[in-house]
Amino acid sequence: MRYLTFDEILQIHRRMIEAFGGEDEILSEEALENCVALPMMAIFGTETSTSLWSKAATLLHCIANRHPFIDGNKRTAWTAAKVFLLLNGFRLSASPEDGESKVLDVVKGVIDLEKLAYWIETHSESV
């Protein structure tokens, strides 16, 4: 499985800021490092997120909620999840409006990780 690096997520964030505006600045490097590590985390040798979908959901959820950046956290979270899936052979087929709505649900706490992972799985297709 191919995971996104710290620098790749920074690049995604920069592109979101260039496209939509805002401040291109990290608020918390530690929060971003945690978001990079969380999808591949293991406890006693067992991965905490086992499926591609749960790993994408974990990445999206972490960036959207931990706010590693001053601006653009939700857009970066959505795009990072999409890029992660592409790197692993899948395309998120949801519309931008559906994606925005789902990320807002994540931030509001309306959807948990399990339901988000299921939604990502049912809105993805092999490339």
pTM of the model: 0.93
1 in any annotated domain: no
Q: Which two tokens stand for residue 5?
A: 């690096």
Render pLDDT for 49-95 as a digit per residue (tens, 0 to 9).
Answer: 679 999 999 999 999 999 999 999 999 999 999 999 999 999 999 99
39 in any annotated domain: yes
87 in any annotated domain: yes
- Band (30; pLDDT cuts 50, 70, 90): very high
Q: With H, G, I as helix, E, B as strand and everything else as coil, classify residue 109.
A: coil
Q: Which two tokens stand for residue 59?
A: 């990445």
Domain count, the chain: 1
90 in any annotated domain: yes
54 in any annotated domain: yes
The domain of 60 spans: 6-126
81 in any annotated domain: yes
77 in any annotated domain: yes
Of 11, 16, 57, give the one whose Cα is nearest residue 38.
57
Answer whether residue 102 shows pLDDT above 80.
yes
Q: What is the CATH number of the domain that holds 115?
A: 1.20.120.1870
